[in-house]
Every structure is written in structure tokens, then in C-alpha cells.
Amino acid sequence: MSERGIQWFRFTAPANFYDLAGRLIPWFAALTVALFGVGLYMGLVVAPSDYQQGDSYRIIYIHVPTAWMGMFLYVLMAVYAAIGLIWRIKIAEIMAKSIAPTGALFTFLALWTGALWGRPTWGVFWVWDARLTSMLLLLFLYLGYMALHAAIDDRQRASNASAVLAMVGVVNVPIIYFSVHWWNTLHQGASITVTEAPTMAMIMFVTLMIMVLAAWMYSIAVVLARARVELLERERTAHWVRERLEGERG
């Protein structure tokens, strides 16, 4: 292993991870506030209303970021769970467990904002079509993961069992993404793809991307903060914890 590799490996040691995360969180928190500030101002005030949907389209600025985060975070959670399961890296297990609540929250918000957007545009809060149903399944996968983790007392077994659930559930993510192509659905297709120019006005696109970034920064800050607490709970009797508590206040 190169020296550089060893340097990075250091951060998987609990005390180093704890310190590094502690240093990073304020930066991500500051970026979250700044990006949400700019994004909300642009989305609610600067961007013009839509010629068809009026002001109801403004829900897009939180509906799309929350839906993307719900899906991204699930994949990230499954990757960390797999790393924890295969290589027995404690930090990876902690990261997987720390992502779940935030992922579930964003998935719920995607469904909630979708319902409130569906009512004025489609006339209904909810339909059992492919996109909406697979998104609801994602929420249940998150909740199932969290429930399974909480139901098993032995920490290692809880981590292993829920890791398998997380990895199996990952097939649902491409199903959500492609559902609008594979089935006839009320939900519109993707307005933003990697291969084509976005089918929306530039100001709307830029605002949306700022809100997506804000959601990323928020997720990183909160997940790191939760991982730190999780780590402290596991290691509360370790020497390094006592050392750090001398200088730090709750």
C-alpha cells in the first residue's frame, strides 16, 4: 500500500473519523444555509411563474431535490452497507445506519410535495401508478431497514441483516428512475437528463440545481453529525472519547 493509501486509511479509525467529521460539519452547514438562502429566493421570488401551471410549479424546487436525494441516499446507504458487510469496516456500518433516517425523510418529502403538486395539476393527490408506487416502496425500504436494525439486539447481527436488506432493495432505485419510460404513468418524464439539454427555462434550471446542491450539503452535514453521535454511543467507554469530552461541550 502506498503512503497516501495509509493516510486515507487513517480516517476509518474511529477517533480520526470523529475529528475529521467534526471539522467538516460547520462548512457543510454554512454551505447549506447559503445555498438554501439563494435557492429559495430565486425559486420563490425571482423565477417567473409557469405559463401553464402558474405558481404551483414552484413546488418543483423542493420536489425534485427531495426525490433525487431519497434515491441517491438509498444507493449510498447500500454501498456503505455492502462495504461494512464485506470488509467489516465499522465506520461504513455507522454511515449506512446514519444515512437511513435522512433518506427516509427526503423520500417522505418527495411524496408529500408530489401529492400537493398533483392535486392542482392532475386533480388528485395520489394515484397508484408506477412512479408513485415505486417511490412509496422506497420509503418502506428505508423504514424496514431502520426497523430491522432496531429489532435485533446484537449490534453486529443487526448490521449484517439490515445490510442485506439495503442491498436487495437497491434494485428498486432503477425501477423508480425508469418507471416513467417502462409504464404508462401520470407522472411526467425526466426534464433533466445527462444526455440532453434540459427542457425548461435557464433560470428555472439553475435554481433547481442550486436547491439540489443545498439538499446535498444538508444531507452530508446531518449524516456526518448523526454518524458522530452513533460512533460516540458505540465507543462511549473508550479512552479517546473521554479525552475529547474534556475540551468540548455538548
Chain Cα centroid distance, residue 98: 10
- Sites for other proteins among residues 201-230 (CB under 8 A): 218, 222, 225-226, 228-229
Q: Which is nearer to other proteins, 208 or 222 (CB)?
A: 222
Question: Which DSSP symbol is given to 50?
Answer: B
DSSP string covering 176-208 = HHHHHHHS--SS---S--SSS--SS-HHHHHHH
- Sites for other proteins among residues 16-55 (CB under 8 A): 40, 44-45, 49, 54-55
Contact 224, 24 (CB under 8 A): yes
Which of 68, 80, 117, 216 is the binder for other proteins (CB under 8 A)?
117
**Is residue 58 involved in binding other proteins (CB under 8 A)?**
yes
**Is residue 62 involved in binding other proteins (CB under 8 A)?**
yes
CA distance 93 to 91: 5
**Is residue 59 involved in binding other proteins (CB under 8 A)?**
yes
Q: By CB neighbour count within 10 A (0-12 exposed, 13-18 middle, 19+ buried), where does 162 fall?
A: buried
Which of the stretches 85-93, 107-115, 149-157, 167-175 binds other proteins when contact is defined by CB under 8 A? 107-115
CB 73 → other proteins: shortest distance, Å?
13
Q: How far apart are the first and last CA of the chain?
A: 38
For binding to other proteins (CB under 8 A), which residues are involved?
40, 44-45, 49, 54-56, 58-59, 62-63, 66, 101-102, 105, 108-109, 112-113, 116-117, 119-120, 218, 222, 225-226, 228-229, 232-233, 236-237, 241-242, 245, 249-250
